A = this chain, B = another copy of it.
Amino acid sequence: MKHHLIIALTAMAVPGSHAFGQEADIQPETLTVEERISEGEHVYVMDMGISGPSQVSVLNAEDLSMEGNIGAGNFSQMLMSPDRSTLYTSSVYQRRYTYGEIEAVVHEWDAATLNARREFTISDKLAQTLSQKGVLNLSADGAYLVVQNATPATSVNIVDLTAGADLVEIPTPGCWTAYPTIEGHAFSTLCGDGTVTKYGYAPDGSAGEPAKSEKIFDSDTNPLFGNAVRVDGNLVYVSYAGALHVVDDSGEVPVLVRTVDFAEEGWAPSGYNLMGYHEPSKTLFITMNSTPFDGSHKLPAEEIWAIDMESGNVTGRGAANGESSIAVSGGETPAIFGIDHLGGVHRYEVTLGDSVTITKAVSREGVAFFPTIVATDY
């Protein structure tokens, strides 16, 4: 809160604060900056900027009221740190806004004060793509960012957070997304040849050879979404047709350990960041639509389904509101936050048990122009 006095302004007098309050009962108000958002729980909604800045709106989780925002560059990605103290963004700045040289920038935002703790540039190969979970992630030890590049040739950039600089670029041709393994220095990526491929790297900047799984899907006839979630250590992908593909990537080579074909006839998953997992109850939530066809995989959601990841059964279905992406909170009982294709934000209350209920509790319309990804700080 700097307060320069501009002394060269001949057009302006410069009254001190004592110039007011001449009358005993009047004292000037104080102008300050809010030190932080409220204590408690919040939702972070990305409004991805195409021609202008991306913007993260920070809403109160209870009533979805506006508590502040964050501005980043074009095509921003977003990641909440595991301890919920830091929101990472990676985005691209063009020198002339819509043309000219670019800089790709990582920001570490204090998730409570909404100040940038730090920013630094990374390789400008950073994928300029719709904000999605597989593009910006933290290594298991929190020391590295794992960043998807696209020029549009694909590679993965390992960013050393201590140094605030790129460590190594690993070519990942024909593959997309990069989910860090839950131990060590490696990530897994989904490839057009139907495999999940694992790449290792080391703090000295060396990278290992790719380790390919067996073919676990067919990108022509049975494609998987790029969006994945970690479920009890495994990576869970979902197919356009509605089958979960559970991949164990802890070993030398990723292995498909299970598929869960949960979609009933006439329903299929659709959306962008379309899944969220609630660990305490082993429940996966996913957005669904009732009219599958070739091209329906991004339709606004009609329902949100709950899947018990132990039994593989659908344990609940609730009416949705045209969501394209969701986030699931922590806590004993989760809340679900959905962002719809018109820019609205919705909070759903969940009751757990053999039968899960999902009920919309609060909505706030028009929060974003291009809503892409949503996160919580709890």
Residues on A lying within 8 angstroms of B by beta carbon are 6, 8-11, 49, 51-53, 55, 71-73, 93, 95-99, 105, 119, 151-154, 173-174, 192
**Closest CB in chain B relative to A93 CB, distance in Å:** 6
Q: Judge whether A6 and B153 touch: CB under 8 Å.
A: yes
Docked complex Cα distance between A95 and B100 (Å): 12
Copies in the assembly, this chain: 2
Main secondary structure of the interface of A (DSSP, over half): loop
Q: Contacts A71-B98, A96-B93, A192-B11: A152 and B53 contacting too (C-beta < 8 A)? A: no
> A97's contact among B10, B97, B153, by CB below 8 Å, is which?
B97
Min distance, Cβ A210 to any Cβ of chain B, angstroms: 13
Supplied contacts A11-B153, A51-B52, A96-B119, 14 more A-B pairs, CB within 8 Å: A6-B152, A6-B153, A8-B151, A9-B152, A9-B173, A11-B154, A11-B192, A51-B53, A52-B53, A53-B98, A73-B96, A93-B96, A93-B97, A95-B95
Contact between A10 and B173, CB atoms less than 8 A apart? yes
What is the distance, in angstroms, from A265's C-beta to the closest C-beta of chain B?
Answer: 34
| Nearest neighbor of A71 in chain B, beta-carbon distance | B98
Q: How far is the CA of A9 from the CA of B95 in the complex (A)?
A: 27
Most buried by B among A72, A98, A151, A173: A98
Please report the C-alpha to C-alpha distance between residue A154 and residue B93 in the assembled complex, in whole angstroms. 31
Lowest 8 CB-CB distances: which A-B pairs, in order?
A52-B52, A10-B173, A71-B98, A53-B97, A11-B174, A9-B153, A8-B153, A53-B98
Among residues of B, the one whose C-beta sits closest to the C-beta of A99 is: B71
Considering the chains assembled together, what is the distance between the CA atoms of A119 and B10 in angstroms?
33
